[in-house]
Amino acid sequence: MSSEQRSIIEERIRAFPDVIAEMPGDLAELAEFLGVESYRFTRDGLEELVQALDAFLSNGNLGAVDEDQRIWLHTRMMYLIGEVLNERHGGHWSLQSDPESDFYGHYVVGGFRKDPDRLVDSAEAAHALLNEEPPRDLLGVIDRLGRGPASNEEVPVPRTVDSTDGTAQPQRQTLDLRAGVKTSGEPVYEEVLVDRLGNQTYRLAASPGLVLGVAAGDVIELEPADVSKFRILERGGNLAVHVHTERETAGLASEIAKLGGWLDGQVKNLTIFTVPVSAGFKEIERVFNDFARREGGTEWYYGNVYDPADGATPLNWWVR
């Protein structure tokens, strides 16, 4: 990896939390532009928004759009395509940091329920669509991306928890979960990205950085008396790993990608990874220990291996 490539990856790693945080607001701007007054950042809202954007793009004169407007539209198309795929197929955003990948250095969506290893570059899909001559078919593009290159299956129309048939399906949002208590007694909360599955039931879409005991893929139920607290209903089979370092982590992210893991976020000197426990503790610890030895001042720990109450008792949820 060249120094220039490493610099690009590091900048995109640093920007990744901001990209995710800005997404709902940017999609709301797109909804306002398209006149979708009822838009909400939910599965139904995204499906309504993609219908409106499809109608706008179909025969629109994009040649009249200047460069700044094109960049504005491209960014929001990238977000919308990726989020619709995530909602329909249970995926998540990540930064592809494997130099051998065709998507190296790109924000991608993947980890789909039926094809967890496949990645989709929604930015490239948006770019290609913007450069097509009309009629353009955004809905068809998203359906083909959802099916994958080797499948001819029909993609089912998704429903939300508010659907008329009552079927509970994921609905992406954030929750303020309790992470601990300050010495003053004031509680500490973390905004965690989740998929709503049903009444007070959610699947974590990303591993938290402060809330311990859980990782991406875990299903939780909020406590009725205090919705910032929860109990775990089901484990998703993933380890949350927190790395505290001032060093560059692009190379580490590349190694984790080879284990099937991904970067979930970075805030100041904390980088959060999710790694399937199936990769094996020995191999996972080898990668992180090697990084810590190379990069002085680095510390790392699991976020969901030990009981948060004492930090020492193994939770053993991975034992079958």
How does pLDDT run across 68-118, given as a tens digit for each residue?
888 999 999 999 999 999 888 888 888 877 777 778 778 899 888 888 888
The residue extents of the domains of the chain are 3-147, 172-234, 238-302
Contact at 8 Å (CB) between 214 and 240? yes
CATH topology of domain 238-302: Alpha-Beta Plaits (3.30.70)
The pLDDT, as a whole number, for residue 5 is 62
In degrees, to the nearest 5, what angle opens at C-alpha 314 toward C-alphas 309 and 316?
Answer: 120
Which residues lie across from 274 on neighbouring strands?
Answer: 240, 262
Owner of token pair 């990874």 = 273
Which residues make beta-bridge pairs with 270? 244, 267
Count of residues making up the chain: 320
Predicted structure pTM score: 0.57
User: Which residue positions in the chain have pLDDT lower than 50?
Assistant: 150-168
User: At CA 134, angle to CA 132 and CA 138, rounded to 5?
Assistant: 70
The model's pLDDT over 146-189, given as tens digits with 9 standing for 90+, comes to 887 643 333 333 333 344 344 445 577 888 999 988 888 888 99
Whole-number pLDDT of residue 159:
33
